Amino acid sequence: MDESGLLPVPPHVIGPTWRKRTSGEWYLPEYTLADDVVNWMFAYLTQPSGPRAGEPFIPTFEQFRFLTWWYAVDESGRFLYRNGTLRRLKGWGKDPLLAAMSLAELSGPVAFSHVEKGKAVGTPRASAWIQVAAVSQDQTRNTFSLFPAMASRRLREEYGLEIHRTLVYSEAGGVIEAVTSSPLALEGKRPTFVVLNETQWWLESNAGHEMAGVISGNVDKAAYGACRSLSICNAHRPGEESVAERDYEAYLAIQAGEAVDNGMLYDSLEAPADTPVSELAALAEDPEAYAEALNRLRRGVEIARGDAEWLDVDTIISSILDIRNPVTESRRKFLNQVNAVEDSWIAPREWDACRELSLRPLEKGDRVTLGFDGSKSNDWTALVACRVEDSALFVLRAWNPERHGGEVPREDVHAAVVSAFATYDVVAMRADVKEFEAYVDLWGERFGRKLKLKSDAKNPVRFDMRGRKKDFALAVEAFYDAVVERTVVHDGNPILRRHIVNAVRRPTNYEDLYTIGKATKDSKRKIDAAVCAVLAFGARQEFVTSKKNRGRGVVILK
C-alpha cells in the first residue's frame, strides 16, 4: 500500500476509512474484493428497515470504504487483515452491516479467485461456516433478527437458504450459527468468518475473555489462513478489562511499537476531543457562550455519526444534556470516546486536544530543552525534546528493551543524546539518574558548559527523582495545567500518547501535590516517555522565566 501523499489524520479518526490523499481522493487499497461483495449485496439483500425498507441493500459510503479495506488483498490474493474491530457510536448501523457481511460470507464472492485487468475478482467460499458470537442470546438476536428481512426472495431461491432463529443454512452446505457464552462449545471448530458482537460487554466474569481466546485459536489454525474475525463495539468502559478494551490496548501497543502488527484493522470514528458536554451546565447564564458550546457539541455528534444520517442529532443532544445520564456514558455511547480511568492523570481527549496537525517539525538549530528517563531492562528508555519557542513536545528516541534482546542498548542511547546536542540548541536538560548514572555524569561533563540552565549544582543535567520528589510533583502539576489550558502542543506521536494516558496519579507527602506512576509496579503499561515530557517541559518553563532568557520574547503562555 502506498502511504505517501496522505493528509494528516486528526486524533479522533482511527483506521483508513476516513483517510484522504493530498489530492482530495479517498485513500483506497490497490486490490480489494469489496466491489464484487457490494454488488452482490445490492443484487441479493434488501434494506431491513427505515424509509428504504425492502429496497436493495446499499451500504453508506463510509461503510463501503470500510468494506474496501476489510476485503483488501495483496497481489497473491492474501487478505491484508486477519482480524479487526469496528468501533462506532450507538445506532450507527453495525448490526445491519455485519448481517449483510455474514450473508455475503455465506454465499457471496468473498474468496479471492484471480486478478483480471488490474482488479481482484472474488468467488464464493466453499463450506462457509460463519459464527455470530456474543455473551448473551440478546446480542446474537440483534443480528439474527435481521436475516429474514435482509435475505431477498432471489437469495433464498438461488442459494436455497433456510433461515431459523439461531441458524441459517444454504444448499451449498454453508451455515451461519449463533454462539453464546460457552467456550467449550467453540473449541475445535473451523469457521471461515467470526463476528464478535458488542465486545465492550465481553468480560472475564461472563466468560468473554475465554470465548475470545478460543475464537482466536480457531482463527489461527484455519487452513490457508482462510478464517478471519471482526469485532463490533461501542467505546468501552476503561478499567473493566473487556475484550473491546483489550483490542484497543493492543492497537495502541502496535502503534507505540510495543507489539508486532499481526494484521489488525482497528477502525473508529469519535467526536473531536474538544467536544463539550459537562461544560455546558456552567455556561447556562451566558447565552452567547452557551450557544457557541452547544454548536460545538452538535458538530461533535455530527462528526461521530459519520454517514449514519438516520441518527437524529437533536435527539442525541437531548439525551447527552439529560442530567440523569452520566457524562462518561454519554461520551462513550454517543460521542464514541474512550474516557479516562478514575485515577488517570490525563484523559485521552485532553491530550488529543493539544495535538496540532500543522505543527512545524523540529528542525536543526531549534532551541530546545531535553528530558531523559532511562532503564536497563524492565521499563522503556526515552529522550524527549520541548521546543522553547512554542512548548511543542517531540519524542527524539524511545527504546523498548523487548525489541533489543531484553536490554536497552546504552551506547545507542548515548549516541542519541550526543546527536541531540549536535543538532539542536539545547539550553537545558533534566536526566533521571537511576540505572544511567555513569552516562548522566558523562553528559554533564561533556555538555554542561553549553547549557544556559543547570539542573543540579554538581551536575548540570542531573535530575535524581528519588531526591527531588517535590520538584517533580510541581512539574507534573504544571504540565497537567498546560495540557488543560492547551499551552503545550505535540505532533501526535503514538508512543508519547500511550505513555501519557497510561500514567496514573499517585499521592505525595507535600500537601495537595501528586506525582505520576504506573498503574501497578509490574504493569506493562509504560509511562517513561511521559516522565521525559514532564522533565523537558519543566526545564523549558524554568528557562523562560530565568535571567538567561531575558529579552528573548519567549513567554510561558501562548
pLDDT of residue 558: 39
- In 3D space, the residue among 140, 144, 136, 147 whose CA is nearest the CA of residue 201 turns out to be 136
Residue 185 has pLDDT above 90, yes or no: no
**223-263 tens-digit pLDDT:** 556 799 999 999 999 989 999 999 999 999 999 888 888 89
Residue 1 has pLDDT above 80, yes or no: no
Q: Looking at the chain, how many residues does it have?
A: 558
Which one of 3.40.640.10, 3.40.50.150, 3.30.420.240, 3.40.50.300 gives the CATH number of domain 367-549?
Answer: 3.30.420.240
DSSP code of residue 222: S
pLDDT of residue 47: 96
DSSP-assigned beta bridge partners for residue 381: 399
The pLDDT of 286-311, averaged and rounded, is 95
The pLDDT of 189-202, averaged and rounded, is 93
- Output 396 or 549, whichever has higher pLDDT: 396
Report in angstroms the alpha-carbon separations of 366 from 260, 370, 482: 34, 12, 21
Torsion, Cα 288 294 297 301, to 10 degrees, reads -140
**16-61 tens-digit pLDDT:** 999 999 999 999 999 999 999 999 999 999 999 988 999 999 999 9
CB 435 within 8 A of CB 377: no
CATH superfamily of 13-269: P-loop containing nucleotide triphosphate hydrolases (3.40.50.300)
pLDDT of residue 279: 87
The pLDDT of 161-166, averaged and rounded, is 93
- Output 222 or 310, whichever has higher pLDDT: 310
Residue 556 has pLDDT above 60, yes or no: no
Band of the pLDDT at 180, cuts 50, 70, 90? confident
Say which range, 209-218, 245-254, 358-367, has the weakest mean pLDDT: 209-218
Percentage of the residues of the chain whose pLDDT score is greater than 90 = 80
pLDDT of residue 391: 97
pLDDT of residue 181: 67
pLDDT of residue 390: 97
The pLDDT of 209-213, averaged and rounded, is 93
* Rounded Cα gap, residues 189 and 316, in angstroms: 41
- Output 138 or 303, whichever has higher pLDDT: 303
Report in angstroms the alpha-carbon separations of 467 from 384, 458, 477, 535: 22, 14, 18, 15
Residue 182 has pLDDT above 90, yes or no: no
DSSP string, 510-547: STT-EEEE-SSTT-S---HHHHHHHHHHHHHHHHHTSG
pLDDT of residue 553: 52
DSSP code of residue 317: H
Please indicate whether the domains covering 13-269 and 367-549 agree at the CATH topology level. no
Band of the pLDDT at 13, cuts 50, 70, 90? very high
Cβ-based neighbours of 19, under 8 Å, separated by 6 or more: 6, 7, 9, 13, 26, 27
pLDDT of residue 59: 97
C-alpha cell at 519: 498503574
DSSP string, 249-305: HHHHHHHTTSS---SEEEEEE---TT--STHHHHTTT-HHHHHHHHHHHHHHHHHHH
pLDDT of residue 557: 42
The SS3 of residue 107 is helix
DSSP-assigned beta bridge partners for residue 516: 505
Residue 179 has pLDDT above 50, yes or no: yes
The pLDDT of 480-494, averaged and rounded, is 96
pLDDT of residue 225: 62
The pLDDT of 100-117, averaged and rounded, is 97
CB 69 within 8 A of CB 55: no
- Segments making up each domain of the chain, as ranges: 13-269, 279-339, 367-549
C-alpha cell at 292: 457557541
The pLDDT of 199-203, averaged and rounded, is 96
pLDDT of residue 284: 81
DSSP code of residue 360: P
pLDDT of residue 511: 82
**56-99 tens-digit pLDDT:** 999 999 999 999 999 999 999 999 999 999 999 999 999 999 99
Give the chain's mean pLDDT.
92
The CA-based angle 128-130-132, given to 5 degrees, is 175
313-325 burial, b if ≥16 CB within 10 A, otherwise e?
beebbeebeeeee
**372-396 tens-digit pLDDT:** 999 988 899 999 999 999 999 999 9
* Rounded Cα gap, residues 554 and 556, in angstroms: 7
**391-444 tens-digit pLDDT:** 999 999 999 998 899 999 999 999 999 999 999 999 999 999 989 999 999 999
DSSP code of residue 84: E
pLDDT of residue 281: 83
Q: Report if pTM > 0.85.
A: yes
